[in-house]
């Protein structure tokens, strides 16, 4: 966890993610990334130069099929308020709309519920558990399926909601998150398309690239975060 905290602090300092007086809503999917983020932020605020508060928000996509008992105990143990938002997102996406490519609609609906709940709770920032591998995967998905060079930012402002979205784990490797989250109450993923998405394909592609060209993953990451490492045609 020490490495995670060090990289979290680096990200916060580099991109001004956390500031005095922040009330941060941590989006809890129930997976290893979001639980690690919640735990790390709670540990970080014990020694951080900034004074900030936390709440946790879990959007239940399953219509009540997910069991949050262990996550409730986890949040109680670290003394962070947990808010569970009921929804029928899975029903809308898979049964009513029958989406062939469900991830985009699901993500949009989930984000909408997360952000509106954060706003209602008086938060000025929403923290998401995206890490280094997610950044690279999003770039590859955008490149190969959208034909553009794009990925998410460590910090972005939602003008309609007057909320900042921050990603404090941006420097963290997924393997390190996996190592520290072994004892966390990770929720079973009941999404019907789990591990059958373009993101999973991007994960597999990165693994193959690293075998073929050692350290290619790190080079892609460094190219993405370094503002001067580009040589593209001007418009």
Pull the structure tokens for residue 41.
Answer: 């932020």
CB distance 226 to 137 below 8 Å: no
Cα–Cα nearest to 48, from 76, 27, 17: 17
pTM, to two decimals:
0.91
Kindly tell me if the per-residue pLDDT of 7 is higher than 80. yes
Tens of pLDDT along 52-100? 999 999 999 888 888 999 999 999 999 999 999 998 888 888 878 777 7
Tens of pLDDT along 207-233? 999 999 999 999 999 999 987 767 766
pLDDT higher at 148 or 120: 120
Beta-bridge partner residues of 157 = 164
pLDDT (0 to 100) of residue 228 = 75
For residues 114-135, average pLDDT: 97
Q: Please provide the size of the chain in residues.
A: 235
Mean pLDDT, all residues of the chain: 91
CB distance 114 to 27 below 8 Å: yes
Pull the structure tokens for residue 5.
Answer: 């905290």
Beta-bridge partner residues of 59 = 85
Cα–Cα nearest to 164, from 124, 113, 109, 119: 124
Kindly tell me if the per-residue pLDDT of 234 is higher than 70. no
61's CB contacts (< 8 A; 6+ apart) are: 87, 89, 90, 106, 110, 191
CB distance 129 to 169 below 8 Å: yes
Q: Which ranges constitute the DSSP H helices of the chain?
A: 2-15, 32-44, 69-77, 89-90, 102-120, 132-141, 174-180, 198-212, 216-225
The shares of helix, strand and coil residues in the chain, as percent rounded to the nearest 5, are: 45, 15, 40
State whether residue 23 is helix, strand or coil. Answer: strand
Instruction: Give the strand pairing for 163-166 and 81-86.
Output: unpaired
Q: Fill in the DSSP letter of residue 91.
A: I
CB distance 125 to 24 below 8 Å: yes
Instruction: Give the strand pairing for 53-60 and 155-158.
Output: unpaired
């Amino acid at each position: 966890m020490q490495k995670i905290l060090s990289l979290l602090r680096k990200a916060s300092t580099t991109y001004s993610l956390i500031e005095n007086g922040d009330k941060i809503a941590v989006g809890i999917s129930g997976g290893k990334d979001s639980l690690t983020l919640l735990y790390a932020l709670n540990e970080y605020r014990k020694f951080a130069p900034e004074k900030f508060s936390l709440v946790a928000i879990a959007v239940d996509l399953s219509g009540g099929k997910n069991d949050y008992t262990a996550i409730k105990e986890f949040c109680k143990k670290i003394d962070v308020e947990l808010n569970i938002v009921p929804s029928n997102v899975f029903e809308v996406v898979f049964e009513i709309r029958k989406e062939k490519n469900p991830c985009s609609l699901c993500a949009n609906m989930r984000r909408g519920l997360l952000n509106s709940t954060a706003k209602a709770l008086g938060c000025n920032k929403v923290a998401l558990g995206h890490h280094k591998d997610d950044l690279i995967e999003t770039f590859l998905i955008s490149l190969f399926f959208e034909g553009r060079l794009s990925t998410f930012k460590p910090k972005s402002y939602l003008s309609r909601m007057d909320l900042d979205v921050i990603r404090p784990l941006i420097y963290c490797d997924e393997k390190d998150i996996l190592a520290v989250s072994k004892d966390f109450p990770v929720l079973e993923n009941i999404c019907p398309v789990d591990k059958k998405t373009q993101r999973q394909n991007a994960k597999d592609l990165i693994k193959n690239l690293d075998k073929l060209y050692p350290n290619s993953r790190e080079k892609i990451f460094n190219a993405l975060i370094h503002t001067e490492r580009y040589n593209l045609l001007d418009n």
